[in-house]
Amino acid sequence: MNILQRIVKSIQEDLVLKKEIVPVQSIESSILFDRQTISLSKSILDSQGVIAEHKRRSPSKPNINFGLSVLEVASGYALAGAAGMSVLTNTQYFGGSLEDLLLARQACSLPLLRKEFIVDEYQVLEAKANGADAILLIAACLEKQEIKTLSELAKQLGLEVLLEVHNAQELEKSVMPSLDMIGVNNRDLTTFDVRLETSMSLIDQIPDTFVKLSESGLSSAEDVIKLRDCGYDGFLMGEHFMKTDNPGASAKNLIQSLKT
């Protein structure tokens, strides 16, 4: 069983208990459930396109940054001019939580992406109830019908959908009208190896009707410019900012350099 399969299995097991503790009716009665969402895709196109991420750890990096509060990070990203903020909500493998999403919502008015391994409609409802504006769906752990069901529910709730792919086969099975953004993850989720060439090789196969993102492994303005010249609109960056003492300042420096 590879890393991705282990993560999905643990999530499915956790969901059984979560559904008993917090029923759907409770989620739908949340104060934020009827909140008007902000368009992440529009924000990407209207800015330098940098989605800045909050991430404490990952399976390949057990300690990226546990010393900063989400409130600090979210406020810093907003001041930096980020197009949006990605919030890891997986606890076991990434050290995140839904509370992080709520705190980020409290701290800033940026469009928020719930970054999670979403495999169940319950998680889409959770995203809306905790202040998200968009959700991530990962093609590697979903069948085509599952992508359709989850993305259509998200659209009904006013959430945008970022579909993540790693290769041409995942892209081919996944393209559908209920998506807003398609992101190419340069990190292989089965091995966690990173290759920017993954984005370069898939750009021409992504239809122009979608906002195009490159994710993972971006560590400089030069990387972003290279990918922008290739045709990408957005750039999801987390570890590059989070490994510093001041992620907001790090994001601001990079975004300012993109402007010049």
Residue 109 near residue 77 (C-beta atoms within 8 A): no
**What residue has token string 């085509």?**
144
Residue 137 near residue 118 (C-beta atoms within 8 A): yes
DSSP symbols for 169-183: HHHHHH--TT-SEEE
Residue 61 near residue 239 (C-beta atoms within 8 A): yes
If DSSP codes are grouped into helix, strand and coil, which group holds residue 15?
helix
Residue 158 near residue 36 (C-beta atoms within 8 A): yes
Separation of alpha carbons 151 and 200, rounded Å = 26
What separation in angstroms does the CA of 177 have from each of 128, 130, 155, 171? 20, 25, 10, 13
User: What residues act catalytically?
Assistant: 53, 55, 115, 164, 185, 215-216
Q: Determine what percent of the chain falls in helix, strand and coil, rounding each to the nearest 5.
A: 50, 15, 35
E strands, the chain, in order: 50-54, 84-88, 112-115, 134-138, 160-165, 181-185, 211-215, 234-237
Question: Rounded to a whole number, what is the distance in angstroms from the first to the last CA of the chain?
Answer: 46
